[in-house]
Each structure stands twice: as C-alpha cells, then as structure tokens.
Amino acid sequence: MTDTARSSSDLYLVSFAYAHGIQPASIEGEGRRKIFHFDDPKFEELTQQYYSRQGTIEPIAFTDAIRNVKTLIYNQ
C-alpha cells in the first residue's frame, strides 16, 4: 500500500482510530518503528479530527486501544 494518507507510525493516532473500530490492514517495519496501513477511508477523517483536536473518545476506550495496538506491535 502506498497511500500515505492511510498510513501512520503515530501510536496515539493509530490507537484513536482503533478505538473508533478501525483496524490496521497491515503493519510493516523492523524494530520499534512500525507503520500501520489502513484500508478504511474513514481513517483519513479520523486523522483530521485527531490533529485538529476535534475528535472525541472515551478515556478508557482510548487507554484500552493503546494497549491493544501495543500488543499488535509486540506480537508481530
């Protein structure tokens, strides 16, 4: 996948999307740095919400999403 609008290495952005029900289609990278790729076009909208500080999420859901994304990283 080469669409950078649907890719990110930002743990918290990826977790924000994950908490909204969007799972990465693939994960690539070596070592600690991973790049998450998404097929869902909603990821672009969530990215805009996240960086403009307009997005909302339940704090516990966000915390759980961070843990789940870290698990994806470490199990890869």
Q: pLDDT tens for residues 30-65?
A: 777 899 999 999 999 999 999 999 999 999 999 999
pLDDT at 4: 62
Query: Which pLDDT score is estimated for 31?
Result: 76
Which phi and psi (to 5°) does residue 14 adopt?
-60, -40
Range of the domain at 27: 4-74
Residue 31 Ramachandran class (φ > 0 left, ψ -120 to 50 alpha, else beta): left
Query: Between the ranges 1-5, 63-67, 72-76, where is the mean pLDDT highest?
Result: 63-67
Global pTM reads 0.88
Our count of domains for the chain comes to 1
Phi, psi of 33 (to 5 degrees): -85, 120
Token match 């990278």: residue?
29
Q: Are 9 and 34 in contact (CB under 8 A)?
A: yes
β-pairing, 7-8 with 26-28? unpaired
